[in-house]
Structure 1
Amino acid sequence: MLRVLTLATLFPHAAAPNLGVFVERQTLGLAAHRDIDLRVVAPVGLPPWPLSRHGHYAPLARLPTREPWKGLDVRRPRFLTLPGTAGRFHVPALVRALAPLLADIRRDFPFDVIDAEFFFPDGPAAVALGKALGVPVSIKARGADIHHWGTAPATAAQVIAAGRQADGVLAVSQAMRADMTALGIPAETIRVHHTGVDLDRFAPRDRTGAKAKFGVTGPLVVSVGALIPRKGHDVVIDAVAAIPGASLLIAGAGAARPTLEAKIAALGIGDRVRLLGALPHADLPALIAAADVMALASASEGLANAWVEALACGTPIVITDAGGAREVVTDVAYGRVVAREANAFTRAIGEVLAAPPMQEAVRKGAERFTWSANTDALYAHLRNLVSA
């Protein structure tokens, strides 16, 4: 059996069940492999007391330090985060928190490899711990861990050094691989590892009936993503405002909600545009399958799970040329890749609404992205690191 320690600061918990659901799904798939024994360490960052007992930190402080999670043995150690330091000290704090824990875990579970599921702070910490314990380390790059942490002055050097020192590096798309190479991480060490999608849960439905459940009768555009400027929901709102009779439903939560609410009110489209808040991931298939188009105006991405989930539902996508967009939209039936401008989104959404592709044709775009393929590729990658 290959013994894997998965390290993931992006991992769901009771206070944030949607956090890193893609990491959770990948980990569940790997854990189910016949030749894998796996444990999860999902660190929780907290500021110093008394800040740790207030606001959105309070539910995090109450999380159990160890619990069974969907059949996985999950440890949730705390590590210190210092507000106002731009993440500069996250890695040493994480190493201090994990060193005794991993040594303790190793006594009963002599893991063969550390599988770090985000490049910061997981990656640099995993490299340091792997060296201390004498085990190989793999790090996966997903998006903001490279585009933000890998370029921010306080953390870029740590990210790049980890990429150069890791035994294996994964990227969610060819575009992400190119971005990592541009930062100075050797291209020959980076393997592309695509996400997966549950083709049983995310599947086409009767759109008329599906729309009725959301109180929509005409053309429907859906957007899925955190309410933050990088996701570009304001661009999509402006685009849909210019399409008579079209409705827009946005699933996600975040600090930009008041700004988006103000925009919707100023445009006078509150009857057509709704912010649904953060939906459980289990509720997304019904929403996405109801849509005629899924639109997302991201400034940056790795390879967004929402893109592939939409295609699996038979819903074409209109997205920006971010990350692996052109690796997903490889056929006109799958949608459009356009400029991050409201007019460009209006035109592209209008084109799709005027000549909608067959749901079955759109779904073919997702059939390349299966969780079984994701599991097989990750197993082969980790096995290779241990055998090297």
Structure 2
Amino acid sequence: MIRILSLSTLFPSPERPTFGKFVANQMAGVASRGDVEVTMVNPIGIPPWPLSLRRRYSKLRHTPAETTLEGMRILHPQFTTIPKIGGDGNPGRIAEAIMPLARRLHAEQPFDIVDAQFFFPDGPAAARIAADLGVPLTIKARGSDIHYWGGRPRALEQMLGAARQADRLLAVSCALRSDMARLGMAKDKIAVHYTGLDRSRFKVMDRAAARALVSAIPELGVWTRGPLIVTPGSLIQIKGQRLVIEALPELEEATLAIAGTGEDEQALRAHAKELGVADRVQFLGHVSHDVLPQLFSAANVVALPSEREGLANVWIEAMACGAPLVIPDIGGAVEVVTNPGAGRIAVREPHAIASAIREILKNQPDQDAVAQNVARFCWETNAAEIVEIWRALAHREGALPAD
């Protein structure tokens, strides 16, 4: 049995049940094997008073100190965060908040590995804890933690220090591995660890049947006239929903369903109205994981012109449901869209996005053929790969007997 202390600032809690769900899926796959005991630490950032009284933080303040999920013990210690200006200092504040807890748990029953699920702020915080406990360290990079924080000198300095200390680094795509090396991380230390997929949930459903189902759900009521474009994700600028709306005037028969919530919703609604396409754009709000596979199966195209990604879970989930992608050449895009049957790589520009969507609609690929492109992805494989890395480190450190 390997004992893992894993740190993730993005992780579900009772107040944010879908926050970092993909991390929970990965770690639940690990825990379900029976040969790894996972203790998750999900630090909750709360700003000083009076900012802590704001609605988003007042809710988070009531997060229980401990919960369970899929057989895992989840600890939710709180740390002080400074919104907008204090991000570079979060690793130190997280480590300070967690250290007494980590020491106590390690004294009760030693951990074999300290793990970080994101490179920033998780990585440098986990590095301090691993050094204090005297155990190996692994850190995973997922995209924005490298592309955004790697552009901030103070954050990058902490990331590079953690990378030097780490026994193994992981990246969600080959492209991200190269980006990490360009920042100065040792490439031979970085393993590519692709995302997984819940195959019991995300699978092909006949498009016509899926459309009938999503149009009948009262809280969605998705329009079913003409080709359906689906754009999922938080409604924030870097996700690029605006670009898909701007492509819509060139796609006269198509309708666009935007799945997600966020600060840009009103601006996006106003922009659709300005362009005269508001009657063909539907804002679905939050779409649950129970309904998302049906929505993807109903789609002719899933378009996600994000500014940055590592290798997005939603790419894999959409394709598993038979929906071809239109995405930019970011992160691991070319590792997923490897042929025209998987979709198109398009520049983040409305005309290019519209052209790519038109090409797909003119020669709509078979749903099963689209899904075949992601046949290699599953959470069982994902779990087996990371456990193999951890077990090798634990054997090397003498925590486990040799086979």
Task: Tell me the TM-score normalized by structure 2.
Answer: 0.94
SS class of match (2:45): strand
Amino acid at match of 1:310: A
Q: Indicate if the aligned counterparts of 1:10 and 1:23 stay in contact, CA closer than 8 A.
A: yes
Residue 197 of structure 1 aligns to a residue in which SS? coil
How far apart in 2 are the matches of 1:57 and 1:280? 23
- Equivalent residues in 2 for 1:147-166 (5 A)? 147-166=147-166
Aligned equivalent of 2:238: 230
The Cα of 1:59 is off from its aligned counterpart by 0.9
CA contact (8 A) 2:106 2:133 kept: no
- C-alpha displacement at 1:108, in angstroms? 2.8
Out of 10-19 and 294-303, give the one that drifted further.
10-19
RMSD (Å), alpha carbons: 1.2
Pairing 1:307-322 to 2, within 5 Å after superposition: 307-322=315-330
- Name the structure 2 match of 1:270: 278
Q: How many angstroms apart in 2 are the aligned matches of 1:276 and 1:41?
A: 32
Deviates more, 1:203-212 or 1:323-332: 203-212
Kindly state the Cα deviation for residue 70 of structure 1 after the two structures are TM-superposed: 3.2
- 2: distance between equivalents of 1:71 and 1:122? 23
Structure-to-structure mapping, 1:291-310, within 5 angstroms: 291-310=299-318
CA distance in 2, matches of 1:207, 1:323: 29
CA apart distance, 1:360: 1.0
Partners of 2:340 and 2:25 lie apart in 1 by 29
**Structure 2 counterpart of 1:350:** 358
Deviation at 1:309, TM superposition (A): 0.6
Structure 1 residue 217, shift from structure 2 partner? 2.5
Aligned residue pairs total 388
Moved over 4 A (4+): none
Q: Aligned partners of 2:23 and 2:90: how far apart in 1?
A: 20
Aligned-residue identity in percent: 44
Partner of 2:105: 105
**Matches of 1:163 and 1:241 in 2, distance apart?**
47
Partner of residue 171, structure 2: 171
Q: Name structure 1 gaps, 5 residues minimum.
A: none
Residue 215 (1) aligns with residue 227 (2) = no
Q: CA deviation at 1:50?
A: 2.8
Is the Cα contact below 8 Å between 2:11 and 2:21 reproduced in 1? yes
In structure 2, how many angstroms separate the alpha carbons of the residues matched to 1:171 and 1:216?
39
Give the Cα–Cα distance (whole angstroms) in 1 for the partners of residues 249 and 390 of structure 2: 48
Stretch deviating more after TM superposition (339-348 or 81-90): 81-90
For 1:329 and 1:70, the matched residues in 2 are separated by: 32
Instruction: Answer yes or no: is 1:253 the counterpart of 2:256.
Output: no
Residue range with higher mean Cα deviation, 216-225 or 78-87:
78-87
Instruction: Give SS of 2:369's match.
Output: helix
Instruction: State the secondary structure of the residue aligned to 1:59.
Output: helix
One of 364, 372, 378 as aligned partner of 2:380: 372
CA contact (8 A) 2:248 2:277 kept: no
Q: Secondary structure of 1:381's partner?
A: helix
3-state SS of the aligned residue for 2:3? strand
Alpha carbons of structure 1 residues 16 and 241: separation in structure 2 relative to 1, 3 Å: farther
SS at structure 2 position matched to 1:150: helix
Give the 3-state SS of the residue equivalent to 1:332 in structure 2: coil
Question: Is structure 2 residue 31 aligned with structure 1 residue 31?
Answer: yes
Asked if 1 retains the 8 angstrom alpha-carbon contact of 2:67 and 2:74, the reply is yes
**Contact 1:227 1:233 survives alignment (8 Å):** yes
1:333 to 314, 335, 341: 341
Partner of 1:139: 139
Most deviating of 332-341 and 198-207:
198-207
Residue 84 of structure 1 and its aligned partner are, at CA, apart by 4.2
For residue 155 of structure 1, give the secondary structure of its aligned residue in structure 2.
helix
8 Å CA contact 1:197–1:366 kept in 2: the answer is no
Contact 2:228–2:254 under 8 Å retained in 1? yes
Partner AA of 1:56 in structure 2: R
Distance, in Å, in 2 between the alignment partners of 1:242 and 1:67 is: 49
Match of 1:88 in 2: 88
Distance 1:157 1:20 in 2: 26
Q: Deviations over 1:229-288 (max 9, x none)?
A: 111111111112320120111111222212211111111222211121222223211111
Q: CA deviation digits over 1:283-307, x for unaligned, max 9?
A: 2111111100000101111001111
Deviations 1:331-388 (A, max 9, x none): 2100011111111111110011111111111011111111111011000011112222
Q: Is the 8 A contact 1:17 1:280 kept in 2?
A: no
For residues 84 and 272 of structure 1, the distance between their equivalents in structure 2, rounded to whole angstroms, comes to: 35
Tell me the equivalent position of 2:249. 241
- Provide the secondary structure at the position in 2 that maps to 1:375: helix
SS state at 2:258 partner: strand
- How far off its partner does 1:38 sit? 1.3
Superposed displacement of residue 197, structure 1: 1.0
Code of the aligned partner of 1:272: R
Q: In the alignment, is the contact (CA less than 8 A) between 1:211 and 1:217 conserved in 2?
A: no
CA distance in 2, matches of 1:354, 1:150: 41
Contact 1:86 1:154 in 2 (8 A): no
On the 8 A contact 1:138/1:169 being kept in 2, the answer is yes
CA distance in 2, matches of 1:146, 1:82: 21
Paired with 2:177 and 2:86, the residues of 1 have a C-alpha distance of 25
1:255, 1:215 → 2: CA distance? 24
Question: Secondary structure of 1:333's match?
Answer: coil
Within-5 A mapping of 1:115-130: 115-130=115-130
Which stretch has the larger CA shift, 288-297 or 42-51? 42-51
